[in-house]
Structure 1
Amino acid sequence: MKTVVIKEFVDYNIKSIYELDLSKIEIKDCCGCWACWWKTPGRCISKDLDTFYSKYLEADRVIIFSKVVKGFVSGNLKTVFDRMIPLFLPYVEYSTGESRHVPRYEKYPDIEFYYEDNFVNPEGRKILEEYIYRTFDQFASKNVVVKGIEEWGKFDEYNNH
């Protein structure tokens, strides 16, 4: 199974084809120029995620280890999500009753999302989990798992390290 890892903390030894370590790099923000749709379809004018894009699409699964900052994903991880828009077409479909961008590619990876579970109430945790499920539903991932970091490694299907 081809795996890509996006991490902001932890240092698990996971066999992966690519690792995006957000604790060591700052991703450039989307500038909203739409070049990724019209001028250079599928490619962002900022080149800092070029390798990530190709490895993301090659992967069977992506494992994300996310910090939680004030009840939400960090700004750097949110920027990665924002910058994934080139992976989709500029057109919108309404097939599920909601608007979503048409996928540019046939296959998108499954997602395992593990977060620092430092919530003081279950409502905050539920909001984050629903956001992640909706984000990756929009990103055309068929299987999405969202759990606190303490769940990492408890299940045999996740023990690929």
Structure 2
Amino acid sequence: MHRVVVRECGEIGVPCEYELDLRKTDIKDCLGCWSCWLKTPGRCVHSDLNEFYKAYLSAQKVVIFSKVSHGFVSGNLKTLFDRMIGLYLPYLTFKSGESMHVRRYEKYPEVELYYEGEFSSPEDEKIYVDYIHRVFYHFYSTCNIVKPIAQFPTEEIQR
């Protein structure tokens, strides 16, 4: 299985073909310039994520080890999500009662997200989990797992 790992916490070793370590990688912010849609379709003017985009699109599964920051996704992870907009077309479609961008590619990977951190209430945790599900729904990816990092299945490492 072709797997990509996005890591901003945890030391769990997961066999993968590509790892983006957000603890070591400073991702440039999205400029909102629309170049990824108009000038260089599918590619950002920043080239810092070119390898990640290729790996992400060819992956069957992406495993994200996320850090909870002030009860939400970290700024680095949110920046990564923002920068992934070029993987979709600028056109909108209406699906399941809402508008969303049209897919640029035929296939997008399945995603699992494991988080490390505390929430001030069960409602705050639900907001976080719902947000992750919504992001990947809009990214045309199946994301059935959003759990604490302590629930990462150790047998997964063998697969």
- Normalising by structure 1, report the TM-score: 0.94
Letter in 1 for 2:141: S
User: How far off its partner does 1:144 sit?
Assistant: 2.9
Instruction: Tell me whether 1:149 sits opposite 2:143 in the alignment.
Output: no
| Residue aligned with 1:65, SS | strand
Aligned to 1:87: 87
Deviation readout 1:119-153 (Å, 9 max, x if unpaired): 23111100000000000000000343110111111
Mapped partners of 2:126, 2:117: distance in 1: 11
User: What is the aligned length?
Assistant: 159
Distance 1:148 1:11 in 2: 14
Unaligned runs of 5+ in 2: none
Q: Which residue of 1 aligns with 2:100?
A: 100
Q: Give 2:82's aligned amino acid.
A: D
Which residue of structure 2 aligns with residue 77 of structure 1? Answer: 77
Contact 2:65–2:149, Cα closer than 8 Å, also in 1: yes
- Kept in 2, the 8 Å contact 1:136–1:144? The answer is no
CA deviations 1:79-132 (Å, max 9, x no partner) are 000000010000000032110000000100000000014123111100000000
Q: Which residue of 2 aligns with 1:60?
A: 60
RMSD of aligned C-alpha atoms? 1.2
4+ residue runs over 6 A deviation: none
> d(CA) in 2 for partners of 1:45 and 1:56?
18
Determine the structure 2 residue equivalent to 1:129: 129
Counterpart of 1:46 in structure 2 is 46
Of all paired residues, the percent bearing the same amino acid is 53
CA distance in 1 between partners of 2:44 and 2:37 (Å): 9
Q: Which runs of 5+ in 1 are unaligned?
A: none
Contact 2:7 2:21 in 1 (8 A): yes
**C-alpha contact 1:61 1:109 (8 A) present in aligned 2:** yes
- Using the TM superposition, give the Cα deviation of residue 63 of structure 1 relative to its aligned residue in structure 2, in angstroms: 0.3
Q: Which amino acid aligns with 1:8?
A: E
The whole-number CA distance in structure 2 between the counterparts of 1:159 and 1:130 is 26
